[in-house]
Amino acid sequence: MLKALNKQLNSFKHEDFTYLKIGTWNLTFEKSLPEYDGIILSSTNDSEIEKTILAIRTHENPTIYLAPIYFLSKTANGLIIHTEGVFNEHKSNEITRSINEKVARITGGQNTAHKSLEIKLMNYLYTRDGKLTPQKNRLILSGYSYPFVDCYYKGEDFEKYKLFKQCIKNEWLTDALEDRVQLCVQCYDSYMIYKETCPKCQSINIQAHDIVHHFPCAHIAPIKQFKKEDEDEMTCPKCDKLLRHIGIDYDKPSVVFSCKNCDNNFQHAEVISECHTCSHQNKLEDLVEVDIKAYKISMNGIMKVEHGTTVINEENSVSDRMKIFEQLVMQEQSRTFIAANSSFVVEIDIQSKLFKILNASFLNQFWKDINDITKNYVSNPIYSCRKEETIYLLMIDKEELAVSNLIEKLRYNLSILLEDNLGSDVTLVIKSQNVNES
């Protein structure tokens, strides 16, 4: 089939990969796209490029909306953030291979349609580097654009922050503050012009005057009262003495404003923020404040992509729970290796001869009590698993010293529980290992 399509479509083969070169978007491409490893944009027309990228990224089929996209040559097109960049003969094939291998691991199969934008975003982050970093963009109302996401919110920029909020609520993303912007209350644009105005008539035709404090006679007045016309020297209007040295004869403790429009005198000008787009005059306290954050897919998000769930139920078998836990450890190995962070697997081994003779009801309650203690040391229940008398905990993004301190607290709390329930006939061994050293 691919050979037949190659006669009709402009394909490009590089080593073991075949790319579809697209100049002008055509709906017939939808059927052929899954046959290709990636897409190369050959057009130099911004309108055609935008049409192609939006058609691909907003599709419902994962093999299409997650497809690797490259520009044929260096470009200043702002849409490049929604792609893998410019095609590079040395690097692009490895990027393509990595993306397509991850697409194949998405739960539900490659042909499953995904209509939920939250799910589509998780899939996109999972198949890339797991990060969503804001990019400054003057053409975007909030002043920042996001890869992939902005393909869905053209003209409705403010709505994307609701998407991020929902994903955080689902615990699929973690966030870090990058910037904070104020938006027009009427049109949500960040392009503002700040002006000092008269609080009485709102005119910008105001002038600031220094206030002069004359030390010898304690006279305080605007500087214009100390200056005579066409003279640079200052003379006190109260005692008629010459003011020579600032800091010795006088100082300037403040300023006062005068309005040339209504003759109003005032100490503090009123600052307004005029929207450059809709000209609305915003009071500073009314501006819509938005936190601009960078996002990363969480372990919950990864679980959602790979398994369709973020929860491990008690009904799951021990082997299922161990399998999921091992997959999480493998994910942490890859993530921490790239991000240069550290995560640790903590192994808690509890041994006692009494386990063989104690009744099931007591043991169930005993392990429940153990679980109540250990869950305080991991950020999510999916990071904990028990096999027979050994408990495994995954502690993510922790320094070795912090893990050692947590282990000592854990040892102390568990020892009290074990002594109360099993007496001295028990052995507790706790050890940890960096996931990238296992």
CATH number for the domain spanning 358: value is 3.30.70.270
| Helices and strands: H and E segment counts in the chain | 11, 22
Give the position of tokens 């003759």: 263
Total domains present in the chain: 3
What pLDDT score does 339 carry? 57
Residue 6 has pLDDT above 50, yes or no: no
Band of pLDDT at residue 317, cut at 50, 70 and 90: low
- Identify whether residues 432 and 316 lie together within a single domain: yes
Cα–Cα distance for residue pair 334/213, rounded to 1 Å: 68
The last residue of a domain, from among 99, 115, 131? 115
Residues 318 and 262 in one domain: no
pLDDT for 110 equals: 39
Asked if pLDDT for residue 5 goes beyond 50, the answer is: no
Query: Do residues 212 and 323 both lie within one domain?
Result: no
Note the helical H segments in 15-159. Answer: 29-32, 46-57, 62-65, 92-104, 117-127
Average pLDDT on 267-293 reads: 91
CA atoms within 13 A on the CB side of 355: 13
Lowest mean pLDDT among 35-44, 262-271, 380-389: 380-389
Q: Are 258 and 325 members of one domain?
A: no
Whole-model pTM: value is: 0.63
Domain end among 238, 268, 298: 268
Q: What pLDDT sits at residue 64?
A: 93
Strands 281-283 and 69-71, sheet pairing: unpaired
354: containing domain: 311-437
Question: Is 288 a domain residue?
Answer: no
Q: What is the crossing angle of helices 117-127 and 160-169, to 10°?
A: 80
More confident residue, 344 or 299: 344
- From the CB of residue 135, how many other CB atoms can be counted at a distance below 10 Å? 13
**Shared-domain flag, residues 319 and 418:** yes
Supply the pLDDT for residue 382.
67
pLDDT of res. 311: 54
Name the 3-class secondary structure at 416: helix
pLDDT of residue 310: 58
Note whether residue 236 is domain-resident: yes
Last residue of some domain: 100, 115, 130? 115
Arithmetic mean of pLDDT, 327-336:
76
On average, the pLDDT of the chain sits at 84
Q: How far apart are CA 292 and CA 74, in angstroms?
A: 28
Question: Is 175 inside a domain boundary?
Answer: no
Greatest mean pLDDT among 58-72, 224-238, 252-266, 338-352 lies in: 58-72
**Per-residue pLDDT at 8 exceeds 50:** no
Instruction: Answer whether residue 377 shows pLDDT above 80.
Output: no
